[in-house]
Structure 1
């Protein structure tokens, strides 16, 4: 019995010492963005964002052996989302089921030095929420409303946003341009959502997670579209009346212009 207790205490001590050594790891790194804001205009067709950084106090032997890995992520604002399953019945498409997500990233772009499975174990990646398959999607917690097939709906959400270019992963896209400097280039879609995005970088050493750094990125509408957007928020009632009046005028003018005698 004493030997068992001593063994358990030894295991706990080793785990504690390992965590302490990892917390005191000398490696540090910082990141920066090529821009801290992106303006969305009527002719916006996407953007390329460069994320760069420096690795300090790295072990030169591990560095020469390629033992350090960087994963860079740009995550869009988290917003509610609904996924509906449609089926064709008697020539009509009807809803057969749905699932609500409380907090789903509106966009997600990832770049890494290597394939994720080669950087670290699936358990660590899942714990950190790294990768499209490991995204944390908050399900509707109202009792009795969650679908028993919610994992399938989550997979459908990832697939649909992947087809829209909102969710994407790129391997071998983070490169060390010098022994201590690295850079990554993310291709952002034309449908980039407005709001505060968060750029995050994760440092790994031989499969072990060391540190994380983050920087905000703002995406804003600009020009005439932004004026309309702000006006609709501040003057909802007037905006509604003007929209109805414009629709009536457009219909009347179109009928007048294309009237046949």
Structure 2
């Protein structure tokens, strides 16, 4: 099931979050037709389409394809624990773990061209742009500091996110419809998390970073699932008691139905 969210390109630009080229005459905007998307449990993946407009562009550079746009849909940040299993006496058990704070649960990237053709790696690092450059803050255990362990678990965390489809990249997902209008398509994974997501767009001219703009998007569950989710969040104790009661009743009914005389 694929859902398409059509957006307008006439929204107020957001303030850039990084250093920009002060002499750049260009400005650009992105827009969403809605700031709220409802998903259901049978979601098998979807596309989110964002439209944007580039103002005061150099027409010659535009015709030569010297402008590049990178769009990121970044999910809410949450703490995550990564565990490592080892075989002990023939049984696989968790032997090590590493906690991280404020990890984006999802991170989808769309680009006009392959990242290596847009700008230099150091620019991506400075902008913390791309799944390889997201800053993942590891929680240091008291009295212990092991850089090798942190590096290993950080790489494992990125690999887990990619394997789950939550960190993904779509080369060619941003297309110029005219010298000034562009369209970006980013992927929503089947297990995309609910919460506030941020769409961020980065403009490059001849490999030089020019500007960044952003917009917010809220993803919620639809129908009965949303009501259950909200109840669990707002009345956790009552929801837990009800869940235990339902499990006991279900188990008792199952025992009565399949009881053998």
Which residue matches 1:256?
256
After TM superposition, give the deviation of residue 172 of structure 1 in Å: 1.5
Note if 1:144 corresponds to 2:143: yes
* Structure 2 residue ranges without an equivalent (≥5): 1-18
Note if 1:212 corresponds to 2:209: no
Cα pair distance change 1:245/1:213, threshold 3 Å: same
TM-score (norm 1): 0.88
Which residue matches 2:4?
none
Aligned counterparts of 1:203 and 1:21: Cα–Cα separation in 2:
10
After TM superposition, give the deviation of residue 234 of structure 1 in Å: 2.9
After TM superposition, give the deviation of residue 197 of structure 1 in Å: 0.3
Cα pair distance change 1:157/1:244, threshold 3 Å: same
Which residue matches 2:162?
162
- Bigger drift between 83-92 and 102-111 goes to 83-92
After TM superposition, give the deviation of residue 65 of structure 1 in Å: 1.6
Cα pair distance change 1:62/1:88, threshold 3 Å: same
Could you say which structure has the higher helix fraction? 1
Aligned counterparts of 2:108 and 2:20: Cα–Cα separation in 1:
32
After TM superposition, give the deviation of residue 57 of structure 1 in Å: 0.9
- Bigger drift between 250-259 and 230-239 goes to 230-239
Which residue matches 1:124?
123
Aligned counterparts of 2:228 and 2:145: Cα–Cα separation in 1:
37
Note if 1:22 corresponds to 2:21: yes
Which residue matches 1:89?
88
Aligned pairs (5 A) from 1:1-261? 22-141=21-140, 143-148=142-147, 149-261=149-261
| Deviations 1:59-118 (CA, angstroms, capped at 9, x unpaired) | 112112211100000000011111111011122112221111111100000000111111
| Deviations 1:156-187 (CA, angstroms, capped at 9, x unpaired) | 11111111110001112111111111101112
CA contact (8 A) 1:34 1:50 kept: no
* Structure 1 residue ranges without an equivalent (≥5): 1-19
Aligned counterparts of 2:100 and 2:128: Cα–Cα separation in 1:
16
After TM superposition, give the deviation of residue 22 of structure 1 in Å: 3.0
